[in-house]
Structure 1
Amino acid sequence: MKHIFRKGSNPARPTLLLLHGTGGTEQDLIPLAERIDEEASVLSVRGNVLENGMPRFFRRLAEGVFDEEDLVFRTRELNQFLDEAAQEYGFDRENIVAVGYSNGANIAASLMFHFQEALKGAILHHPMVPRRGIELPDLTGRYAFIGAGTNDPICPAAESEELQILLQKANANVELHWENHGHQLTYGEVDAAAKWYKENF
């Protein structure tokens, strides 16, 4: 997978896995990583799927309707890539915190839904529920921050609340943060995520 790796100054800190939104690239979220943890290593990945020329992490059938078969395949692919990248770059595979926006947040949530030890934690900016009707692994000791907009036309409030409940039922420690905005990523939300990260990691 096309990616950027930057080794941090403190190997004890988590590695931040950056996952862009639809049409983004591996460059997009690097400024967020710097606001969250200046000492952390950064692994920023570009999605392998193209939709009308725009990179994504998995296919969708329509707005808000995921191609579940492709989602599962791409989630496995990303999890395997993390195994290989940890070997190649020498970071702790068991200490990865994802930072995802929109489509990137959805694939990060899917990692948590399918693989117990894929992520230590995740900052999910405007995610949706990746899959329904499956049993989640035991996520005891895992952390998630959900950033949501009260007026988000793509990700309704009920979607954010349902994701929080599903992760909490799997024993994850979850914080749901609301901004009075739409689907855009605001400074207030980024600062809230950084504060949450510093309290938990």
Structure 2
Amino acid sequence: MAPNLESQPSSWPTTDSKHDKPISPNLLDRKFKVGQPDQVYVGDITYIHTQEGWLYLAVVIDLYSRQVVGWSMAEHMRTKLVNDALLMAIWKRKPDKGLLWHTDRGSQYASESHRALLKQHSISQSMSRKGNCWDNAVSESFFHTLKTELIHHETYQTRSTAKQAVFEYIEVFYNRERRHSANGYLSPVDYELQQMAA
């Protein structure tokens, strides 16, 4: 099926970086190769068009295997969206203290409640430089892949149908089946299993 380009916005901001909240330094500094799981997570927000309106998706990706370890979807992009995604990752993976968490400078990530969540779980915060999407290239790449392989080929009547499609893409296909060049062309789950057995 050809992509339904008419239903896709050409540009729509998902984070507001023009705010007066504190900005964390870029501790990650594009070091996208990580030696162990649950050392560095990266995250971002994107949007999905449905006939009911926008559906927003926040993800948390483990740089080690590129596995999406946390995600959240809602019809808003308030701080709760990103907090819920990170809480899922913490609950599933139980990372040690000192995890590095890298995002853009969006107001959700700079908010007081998000910083409190990071402090509660002893997570260090890193943010991209102003206007530099390459500093968060892994998150950007995942969203590009998601939209190219799934979103741009569908017209979603409801947010519910979009949520189900994205859930299946992440949990059934992307994490478990889709091969990734950074993993020696293994899926994120298979790469982690191989490294554990080595």
Normalising by the residue count of structure 1, what TM-score does the alignment of the two structures yield? 0.32
Q: Which has the higher strand share?
A: 1
Normalising by the residue count of structure 2, what TM-score does the alignment of the two structures yield? 0.33
Rg comparison, structure with higher value: 2
Greater RCO between the two (CA within 8 Å, min separation 6)? 2
